Structure 1
Amino acid sequence: MTPVSRRSALMLPLGLAALTTACAQQDPRMAMPADPSGRADPEQRALLETLARLNPRPIEALSAAEARRQPSYSDAVKARALELANTNPGRVIGSQEDITISTLPTPLRARLYRPIPAHNRPLPLIVYFHGGGWVISDIDTYDASARAICRLSEAMVLSVHYRQGPEFRFPTAHDDANVAYAWAVRNAASLGADATRVALAGESAGGNLALNAATYARDNRVPAPIAIAAIYPVAGVDLDTPSYREFANAKPLNRPMIEWFVRNYTRGPQDLQDPRLDLIGKANLAGLPPVVLVNAEIDPLASDGTRLADKLRANGVVVQHTVYPGVTHEFFGADAVLSKARQAQEFVGAEMRRFFEAPVPVPPSAPRGRVPMRRPAM
């Protein structure tokens, strides 16, 4: 990170009052095109135009409570699907169930998705964390992503809703993700899943949580995940990368929005020095399981995806990294209206199936047939 970008990053939690004031005074329906980048493919452009017709206000001018009530990207997907008369029957799964998981210190809301089983053996389990900058969105917003991963990975998916800022600031969401993963490993059998085949997945801020939960497992004697699916994860704190510069005004995610998320989740500039937020610059990523990494071309986070893949490989981690052209941040769950979303979902599903089907190594110190497990401090 250059000195200039570091200073810029450190300013984020402090307010950037002038920027926020300017955004608040701007009419959200001014002439900014739906695709300021001019790079969206026809399907993505049509979806962005549908989102624009829902008239969302710039969230950087809103409180967190107001932002949570805004029309979302998933609302635009539903509206566009209605325009196309697309009921998307490909999302059919076996069942879903809303549950509360008994994590400490706070029980967490979750949704358990089960695929249509092809056999009677216990199924693999994927613990999934939704996006939203650690501030907005929930398991309903990201239902399409979790459902697709369930169907295409042929695994159960436990989608977990963590506590969010500004009510609960860093590292609360990270702590919740860690204990949720540990809970899932301990309770996999009671869910009907195979405790030896548990993986992690996450989207955007949730991708960051998934990667951090894997490092937590590595460092706290919690059984490691089989693999990690990280979908355009938040991985760094440098806002002066090529993609941040090129897509500073992109939709549905842009640089002012990211600054707003950081202000609402972090406690101050010192948090941006934490390796849990600066995975690229400060985290120890050695010893992680294979990572399936997905990025969108039209996304301020695109450069961070490449930098993250490079760091993972330099630390000996197996990485499958694919960047999808012509689509934006949040595209992954838009399979009802975007062919690139279906391609990305099939890629993640196939890779996760491959890892689940591989023989599970037995640690030398562990008796066969048992998974070494220790309850982490929570």
Structure 2
Amino acid sequence: MPLDPQAKAFLERLRTSRMPSLERLPLPLARAAFTTTIPLAGPREEVARVEDRPIPGNLSVRIYTPRVSQGSAPWPALVYFHGGGWVVGGLDTVDAPCRQLANAAACTVISVAYRLAPEHKFPIPVEDCFLATRHVAEHAAEFNIDPAKIAVGGDSAGGNLAAAVTLLARERGGPSLAFQLLIYPATDSTLDTPSHRAFAKGFMLTRSEIQWFLRHYLVRPEEGENPLVSILRAKSLAELPPACLITAEFDPLRDEGEAYAARLRAFSVPVEHKRFDGMIHGFFQMAGIMDQGKTAIQYAASALKAAWT
């Protein structure tokens, strides 16, 4: 398929803006530059309540209570981890999609402010996300959620972290997770797939940016072989929670995400996967300018609702 016209128009604006890529900026400026994508998500939806709350481990979460006409507490819950290559991003950069998911899926969304690299390298972000998920499950009554209906999810590096949390939860005997929502997740640090070669530059996320992210995230390059980084390499994916996996056609992470979906199926894990033709990395956060971003949010919300019924 050709590039979606809305994606093509966005990439042309990005090209003519001459904005430096993230890896060419000092880290504070790269983090500031990443926040300029926030308006692309469109207007913020109203939800019933938003609360920022500290949790143990020097962490904090942002809790979105849905504004819906049907359903009641205790709500199902989605513990969400933002993208940004483990290096940039935060609660504000996923505020709009978290609001949209809360309302569309009729669930409480708990967005986690895990600590970022390079100040906090692997495995700290993974452990932060696991500890936050375990805290939510152990204090379900305080969050007004159903402990039997907790999902994890995230986009890009956040999708990687969500998948890693499911592995740790299995290995450590809990918490019990009902579902995983993986939005164009990073699953293999080798960056050696046809999509990585075909879309190495010019399609939003570049190969050089991914390499920059990994250099900041890992203490040593060989840590990329760890299954909590390259989740595609985990020896077993058996007994993991059912998954919804979203990929984009013109995304360097496309093939590794789809390979992970196939490997989950090989271990008899139920997987619902959809590739969004014509789309680029990050489109899920661009519902304000891309119609398929809106469609993807509704698709993810439908998968979540189905998992909880």
**TM norm structure 2:** 0.94
Aligned partner (choices 13, 23, 46) of residue 92 of structure 1: 46
Partner of 1:325: 277
Please say if residues 291 and 319 of structure 1, whose CA atoms lie closer than 8 Å, have aligned partners that are also in contact. Answer: yes
Give the distance between the partners of 2:54 and 2:219, measured in 1 at CA: 28
**8 Å contact from structure 1 (residues 128, 158) kept in 2:** yes
Residue 45 of structure 1 corresponds to which residue in structure 2?
A: 8
Q: Show CA shifts across 1:117-137 (max 9, x none).
A: 424431111100000000001
Query: 2:228 aligned with 1:290, yes or no?
Result: no
Q: 1:67 and 1:303, CA in 2 relative to 1: closer, same or farther beyond 3 A?
A: same
Distance (whole Å) between structure 2 residues aligned to residue 239 and residue 230 of structure 1: 18
Q: Which whole-Å deviations, capped at 9, do the CAs of 1:32-64 have from their partners, x for residues lacking one? A: xxxxxx942111122334444554312222232
Identity across the alignment (%)? 33
Which amino acid in structure 2 is aligned with residue 69 of structure 1?
A: A
Give per-residue Cα distances to partners, 1:236-292, cap 9 Å, x unaligned: 122220000100103320100000000011001220121111111235311101000
Query: 2 CA distance for matches of 1:316 and 1:221?
Result: 20
Which of 195, 215, 219 is the aligned partner of 1:243?
195
**Is this contact kept in 2: 1:309–1:321, CA < 8 A?**
yes
* Paired residue secondary structure (1:277): coil
The answer as to 2:243 corresponding to 1:280 is no
Q: Deviations over 1:122-166 (max 9, x none)?
A: 111110000000000111011122112111111000000111111
Q: How does 1:138-153 map to 2 (within 5 A)?
A: 138-153=90-105
Matched, 1:335 2:287: yes
Aligned partner of 1:267: which letter?
A: V
Counterpart check, 1:223 vs 2:179: no
Aligned to 1:33: none
* Contact 2:121/2:219 (<8 A) preserved: yes
RMSD: 1.8
Alignment-derived partner of residue 66 in structure 1: 29
Amino acid at match of 1:113: Y
Cα distance, 1:73 vs structure 2: 6.0
CA–CA separation in structure 2 for the residues paired with 1:208 and 1:141: 17
When the two structures are aligned, how many residues end up with a matched partner?
A: 308
Residues 311-320 or 39-48, more deviating: 39-48
CA distance, structure 1, for counterparts of residue 262 and residue 116 of structure 2: 30
SS at match of 1:97: strand
Is contact 2:65-2:102 (8 Å) kept?
yes
Matches within 5 A, 1:143-222: 143-222=95-174
Amino acid at match of 2:83: G
Cα distance in 1 between the residues matched to 2:158 and 2:285: 14
Q: Give 1:275's aligned amino acid.
A: P
The residue type paired with residue 172 of structure 1 is I
- Contact 1:248–1:254 (CA<8 Å) still a contact in 2? yes
SS at match of 1:141: helix
Tell me the TM-score normalised to structure 1 length: 0.78
* Unmatched tracts of structure 1, length 5 or more: 1-37, 82-86, 358-378
The residue that corresponds to 1:107 in the other structure is 58
The answer to whether residue 184 in structure 2 is matched with residue 232 in structure 1 is yes
State how far apart, in whole Å, the 1-side matches of 2:34 and 2:304 are.
Answer: 32
Q: CA deviation at 1:234?
A: 0.6
Which of these residues, 115, 122, 131, is aligned with residue 83 of structure 2? 131
Gap change, CA 1:167 and 1:60, over 3 Å in 2: same
SS in 2 for 1:69: helix
Q: Which amino acid aligns with 2:186?
A: V
Counterpart residue identity of residue 5, structure 2: P
The answer (yes or no) to whether the contact 1:292–1:319 under 8 Å persists in 2 is yes
Q: Taking structure 1 as reference, are residues 47 and 275 closer, same or farther at Cα in structure 2, changes over 3 Å only?
A: same
CA spacing shift, 1:193–1:75, aligned 2, 3 Å? closer
Indicate how the Cα distance of structure 1 residues 121 and 111 shifts in structure 2: closer, same or farther if over 3 A, else same.
closer
